Amino acid sequence: MTKKQYKVFCGLREMYQKLIHKIDGSFPALRGLQQSIAETRQGGSYLVETPVVYNTAMDKITEDDEIKLILVGDNPGRQEQAAHNRAYLVGNSGKIADKFFASHKEFNIEFRKNVLIQNKTPVHTARTNELSELLKQGGRELAHIIYQSQIDCAKILYEFWRIFSEGKAIPVWIIGYSEMKKKGIFEAYTEELTRLARADSAFESSIFFYRHFSMNQFTIDLKRKRAPDESVKEALNRIGAEYRRRIMPAE
């Protein structure tokens, strides 16, 4: 990236880190609620170490790096919040994503080097659906914090996209969309993303929606929907645009 791009990126990265600290300090009871859910969940308990997760992988991005894709997951899971990680998509889903790009050289993307990973909220739960329980236990105050975090994350996504789309727009892959519907967990994110997209047609056409990498949903959906005469890139562009029109329908 250019020196100018890198300077703007560093400023935005610092802003994002400050947002994480702000959210982390705004609800002192958060870790306790998360730990309570972690200890009663199916699949085994674990220690909650990072209630609100900043993606430390962004600190490794240098001026010499080229960001070719922005990928947006749901929220930091069990592995992402672990103190020895504190990074996004480092669990099983991340391994599947890494394998996908390694197996499809036509994208010319090294997952851990050319992809900027974001989330719809930085607030941790082991599974996305556990955010519902967290919201229930945290009441209106926590609900507002998570609601606002989604709006802020959508805005930050757009600013990152603008930085790396200087000269040529890069794609944004939104992974997982089932909770982006009305009254879904990520409704606020969808509304803000749609507002930003409506104001910038280049941004809107760069957004593609897909199923989760978890449990190979992404790959299974691709195989099921890919036409015999399509390349993988062609199929993903078509599928991702179709889902976009479903999730962010034209006014």
> Distance between CA 188 and CA 148 in Å, rounded?
8
> Distance between CA 59 and CA 217 in Å, rounded?
30
Q: Which residues contact 193 (CB under 8 A, 6 or more apart)?
A: 154, 157, 174, 207, 248
The parent domain of residue 67 ranges over 3-247
Could you tell me which of 224, 170, 167, 159 has the C-alpha nearest to residue 193?
159
Would you write out the chain's pLDDT as a tens digit for each of its 251 residues?
899 999 999 999 999 999 999 999 999 999 999 999 999 887 779 999 999 999 999 999 999 999 999 999 999 999 999 999 999 999 899 999 999 999 999 999 999 999 999 999 999 999 999 999 999 999 999 999 999 999 999 999 999 999 999 889 999 999 999 999 999 999 999 999 999 999 999 999 999 999 999 889 999 999 999 999 999 999 999 999 999 999 998 76
> Distance between CA 95 and CA 115 in Å, rounded?
14
Q: What is the pTM of this model?
A: 0.95
Alpha helices in 129-216 (DSSP H): 130-164, 187-199, 201-206
SS3 162: helix
Torsion over CA: 160, 236, 168, 60 (sign): positive
Read off the CATH number of the domain in which 20 is found: 3.40.470
The number of folded domains in the chain is: 1
